[in-house]
Amino acid sequence: MIATHNPGKLAEMRELLAPHGVEAVSAGELGLAEPEETGDSFRANAGIKAIAAAKATGLPAFADDSGLVVDALDGAPGIHSARWAGEGKDFMAAMTRIERLLQERGATAPEHRKAHFVSALCVAWPDDHLEEVEARVDGTLAWPPRGTAGFGYDPAFLPDGYTRTFGEMSSIEKHGLPPLGLGLSHRARAFVKLAEICLEPR
Ligand code: IMP
């Protein structure tokens, strides 16, 4: 099962699992409560979500904890990336808040607008053992945000070496997996590591 209530993440995690012949229900579909993310790292919070879901269902549970880390903001929003969008999950407001803070710091040149996404993935097995991996993708923050694909901060994130934001890419391009590439997004790169550990080859 996929331990998320976030529809954007769920779609990507299902797409990543599908070529390995794995189908999964989600925590949202099962009506599970969302555990409080009390960890102080992406890895800790991925573990909290996966362990809670595995305990509640008796199924192997796959969780992602991820976020956007902005260099000029000392790593914010980081593990608080979802919270910056507030109760209404308003990511345009969260991107605007980041942009205001960057402007206040005079961060207008691309070299002062460096950021990366991190994804920590955890699989919790019913026998209590865990598989944990983490990966990142580096890029620059674009303003104004561009594109309507993806979710969260995707329209503001320009991955290094590309001219289009994640918001302007299909999910297939954002994953950047074979035959297109060897993994582009933080989540796809982490998933490649996870697949090596515990999934059948594609
Ligand atoms: P959490 O892992 O549930 O704490 O939430 C992570 C938050 O980081 C998401 O709600 C998004 O706002 C943001 N985020 C994580 N991964 C991505 C991504 O691939 N694209 C855009 N935003 C992301």
The 114-124 sheet, strands edge to edge? 61-70, 114-124, 130-141, 157-159
Residue in the structure block whose two tokens are 């561009």: 146
pLDDT for 180 equals 87
Q: Which atom of ligand 1 is nearest to the CA of 67?
A: 8
| 174: Cα within 13 Å, side-chain hemisphere | 25
Q: What is the mean pLDDT of residues 29-52?
A: 97
Q: What is the mean pLDDT of residues 105-134?
A: 97
Q: Which residues line ligand 1 (CB under 6 A)?
A: 6, 37, 65-68, 81-82, 91, 117, 150-154, 166, 185, 187
Considering the chain, what percentage of its residues have pLDDT values greater than 70? 100
CA 85 / ligand 1 centre spacing (Å): 10
Which has the higher per-residue pLDDT, 135 or 179?
135
pLDDT for 200 equals 79
Q: Is the pLDDT of residue 24 over 90?
A: yes
* Closest C-alpha residue for ligand 1 atom 2: 65
- pTM as predicted: 0.97
| CATH architecture under which domain 7-198 falls | Alpha-Beta Complex (3.90)
CA 52 / ligand 1 centre spacing (Å): 19
Comparing C-alpha atoms, which of 182, 185, 187, 186 is closest to residue 202?
182
Q: Return d(Cα 65, Cα 99) in angstroms, integer.
A: 23
pLDDT tens sequence across 123-170: 999 998 999 999 999 999 999 999 999 999 999 999 999 999 999 999
pLDDT for 6 equals 95
pLDDT for 102 equals 98
Count other Cβ atoms within 10 Å, centred on residue 120: 26
Q: Is the pLDDT of residue 201 over 90?
A: no
Return all residues near 103 (Cβ < 8 A) that are at least 6 apart: none
Residue 3 · residue 53 · CB < 8 Å: yes
Residue 78 · residue 103 · CB < 8 Å: no
Q: Return d(Cα 94, Cα 88) in angstroms, integer.
A: 11
Q: What is the mean pLDDT of residues 94-113?
A: 98
**Is 65 an annotated catalytic residue?**
yes
Tell me, what amino acid is at 116? H
